[in-house]
Structures are given as C-alpha cells and as structure tokens.
Amino acid sequence: MDNREIIIQATIDLINEKGEQMDSITVREICKKANVGLGLVNYHFGNKDKLIELCVERIVNGIIDNFRTIREKTERLNAFEKLAYLGDMTFTFLFEHYAVSKISILSDMRMPKENDNTHRTYLAYLPLMSACRPDWDEKTLKRKTFYLISVMQQSFLRYKVIMQLYGIDLTVPEERKAFHETVLHDILEV
C-alpha cells in the first residue's frame, strides 16, 4: 500500500474512532497514525479538509454499496415497502453518522461530481421508484427520484427547522419513518 492509501486508511480509522468529534482530528494525529511525515498530507491532498472529504466519500460509498443487499432482506415486500425500507436505512445512517453525512452532502452540493455520493444514492433509489410507478415515463421518473433525494438531504440538514415548523423530530426513528413515508406518498402520488 502506498503512502496516499496509508494516509487515507489512517484518516478513516480516526473518523470512525472520533465519530461526531471528527473536527478535532489534526494533521499531526493523522500522520502519527499513518507513520508518515507531516508534509505528505499536503502533498497528496492539498489540505486536511480535502483529505477528510475524500475519506467521508469513501465511507459513504461503502454504505451505498451495502444498499444493494436490501434486495435479499426485502424479497417479500412490495415495491413501496422496499422503497420505505431503503429510506429508513438511509435516514438511520444519516442520523447515526451525523458529522460524516453532513460533510458528504455539503461536499456534493458544493462541488457536484459525476459519481458522488448523492448521485450514487439517486442511482440506488431509481429502480425502486420505477417499480413503484411503472406508468411514469423516464423523464418523470428521474425528476421525481431527484426530488426524493433532495427532500431527504434537506430534511436531514434542516431537521431542527422541521421540528420547529411541523413538530416532527427526525432524530426519533418512529417519527422519521412516518415523515419519510409521507414524503414518499406525496412524491409518488399514491
């Protein structure tokens, strides 16, 4: 493994260790864990923030790849139930990994890339949205899937505003699940 990958793995380990306190991670701490010189972080990544964003993207990519396993867990569910299950998994991950999720979403919004986490999430949802509404043309399907992902991201980022405006506490799993199912009914028009 080269120095770049060693630094990335050390940073991912520190993110997993620190959780919500990931802002306290220092370049010195990363380099010590990776057993590399201080200058290599800037050399390979430009700065700590870019390194953290890359690591967060990798962490979230791993989770998105795991979404594919829901097929096995949801074989007996109808299309809407599968979509609701995926949404519940997504929201649970977002709130259980708040700092990582916030960085991921804000990074994608700031600098959208062809295969960023938001796009990969969109691609994971697209087939389930299609299964729920096979009557929709491709353009409608893509637009409504985009709406769903956008609403989920904004709901997560603005969960305190949702609590103030609507009295829905998205940090409570049951309320989050009910909110998501309402959003699904609204977007799917079912």
The predicted pLDDT at position 67 comes to 63
Nearest CA-CA partner of 148 in 67, 94, 87, 70: 87
Specify burial of residue 167 (Cβ count, 10 A radius: 0-12, 13-18, 19+): exposed
| Contact by Cβ (8 Å): 41, 28 | no
pLDDT digits (tens, 9 = 90+) for 112-158: 988 888 998 899 899 999 999 999 999 999 999 999 999 999 999 99
Residue 86: name the closest of 114, 117, 63 by CA.
Answer: 63
Closest C-alpha to 20, from 93, 102, 101, 99: 99
Q: What is the pLDDT of residue 97?
A: 81
Most confident of 5-9, 40-44, 160-164: 160-164
pLDDT tens digits for 20-44?
Answer: 677 788 999 999 999 999 899 989 9
Pair of tokens at residue 72: 């096995």
Distance CA 101, CA 92 (A): 11
How buried is residue 164: exposed, middle or buried, by Cβ count under 10 Å (0-12/13-18/19+)? exposed
pLDDT > 90: percent of the chain: 55
pLDDT: is 21 or 85 the higher one?
A: 85
Of the listed ranges 104-113, 135-144, 163-172, the least confidently predicted one is: 104-113
C-alpha span between 105 and 130 (Å, rounded): 24
pTM, to two decimals: 0.79
In the prediction, which pLDDT does 144 show? 98
